[in-house]
Chain A
């Protein structure tokens, strides 16, 4: 069943097209990521799902029911806010129980449910504290518990890990994924971090300038970008101009070539190769990054740290397997 359906949905603010004719079909139980730079329309899409924004055009359905004009408090959807938006005047337990309280659930019952939700996010016994007494990571868990205690059919997460440090972020990524699997709830999350989207999501919609540039599995989006924007944004691929692609023996179209697909030397018999000059090198720990200029194009290559790095200014030949170059749909 389709959890969230967008049909040609637009949200314009005056002349600004924050969301422009977006089509989405998010399946039930899916972990769906909306990825894009700031101002790309991904957060507005999330707010359209939550009901904080109304579309200026198009049609939205949540589990088959029309969502336009339905206020946030009548949607079976809950949100984890970027700044967590905990209520500072309430205790942690009261925060988590808030959704049940406004729905008129008896006190004993809702506090018990809130305790369970806190245990689920690994914060048992924190109920009597105030939001100000918790760390950023703990507040994030409280926000998660506060949303999940209402048993939403769709959980919306707005940059949920944005404010956490790297270590905590990686840990939360795994926990979120495990939580989503065990609960079976549809998760829709917004992020500008392509690594986060690639590692967590079942499917990714890449946004730019209010439009969906590409929608597919992480592997699809990473290996077979359809537009120059996607190739560049999702993992900084080399975007090759049609003339250069043509000189390598392909049709004259834009193409993407992953830096890690390139190797030094002539390569095998069915490899493609080109020559250029090393213009920069940098040591990245596990790999070395080599920037080569060939026919006026700068191309980045990731080489294993064990390989010898040619010094700046030397001529090199780089090769790659023919199938690693991905031709994009975008015309020249």
Chain B
């Protein structure tokens, strides 16, 4: 839906540009202050340019600990979400059973609920069941919303696999495993990749649920929050923030292009 006939009025163009700048300039500022020579305050313009903070950040063990925890949590939460989300999407889209719509809604709910509700609910559930806070409680907390992302991506793709395609595969001699490998997986593969990347990105910068489900451990976003309070080597936070932007932005961009391409492939089959 692109109209080439007339261009938008100047006022609309200016408003749109202002809106975009308002959203994205602060991100640029983060990049700028990663290279400033002033360590205690965000002075503008920055008094000097230095690459020193990259080295400082590199040598701080607490950065590495937080980064490694975040990567591990995001990886495992994504893996859990991929398995559960796919299974759930398959069940909801390929079969009919009592309460199907309700289950579909319940799966999506965690992402619709404010994170703080999920966080409190999980925290009270953990203490009620006497589960000590650990790496696994963070993973569990993140999995609740990661499953949704994978499920949403997979269920849309599953709906396009006709039941007769799966039957055709079985009819031609493929058992359940072969049918999954040769027919289902190629058709939902890009959706799973996109969902997985999105889930990873969500988990990687999650703060609220993590606050409620982590014990003494610090994931990267929590570490940054703590760091902002203490004005020591401030630009280190900016360096780390820059890394986070890159780590989350690239997968999301890739996911966007992958699903777009997938739409075209599926559309060609009609």
Contact = CB atoms under 8 A, between A and B. Distances in A.
Interface in A126-172: 130-133, 146-147, 150
B269 interface: yes
Given A79-B168, A81-B167, A83-B162, A73 B173 contact: yes
**Range, interface on chain B:** 20 to 34
Contact of A73 (B162, B165, B171, B268): B171
Contact of A87 (B167, B178, B183, B268): B183
B265 A78 contact: no
Contacts of B265: 88-89
Interface in B50-92: none
Contacts of A150: 172-173
Interface string B149-170: 0000000000000101101111
Contacts of B270: 132
Nearest to A81: B164
A133 B268 CA distance: 8
Given A87-B165, A87-B183, A88-B187, A102 B172 contact: yes
B175 interface: yes
A150 B174 CA distance: 12
Contact of B182 (A79, A82, A88, A98): A98
Contacts of B178: 102
A72 to B, nearest CB: 4
A131 B266 CA distance: 11
A194 B170 CA distance: 30
Contact of A99 (B172, B187, B269): B172
B193 to A, nearest CB: 15
B19 interface: no
A85 interface: yes
A72 B170 contact: yes
A50 interface: yes
A88 B171 contact: no
B164 A85 contact: yes
Contacts of A132: 268-270
Interface in A79-127: 79, 81-83, 85-90, 98-99, 101-103
A50 B168 CA distance: 10
A71 interface: yes
A52 interface: yes
A163 to B, nearest CB: 13
Interface of B: 162, 164-165, 167-175, 178, 182-183, 186-187, 265-266, 268-270
Given A85-B168, A98-B174, A133-B268, 15 more contacts: A52-B171, A72-B170, A73-B173, A78-B171, A86-B168, A87-B165, A87-B168, A88-B187, A88-B269, A98-B169, A101-B182, A132-B268, A146-B172, A147-B171, A150-B172
20 contacts: A51-B170, A51-B171, A52-B167, A71-B175, A72-B170, A73-B171, A73-B173, A73-B174, A83-B164, A85-B162, A88-B187, A98-B169, A99-B172, A102-B169, A102-B172, A102-B173, A103-B173, A130-B268, A133-B268, A150-B172
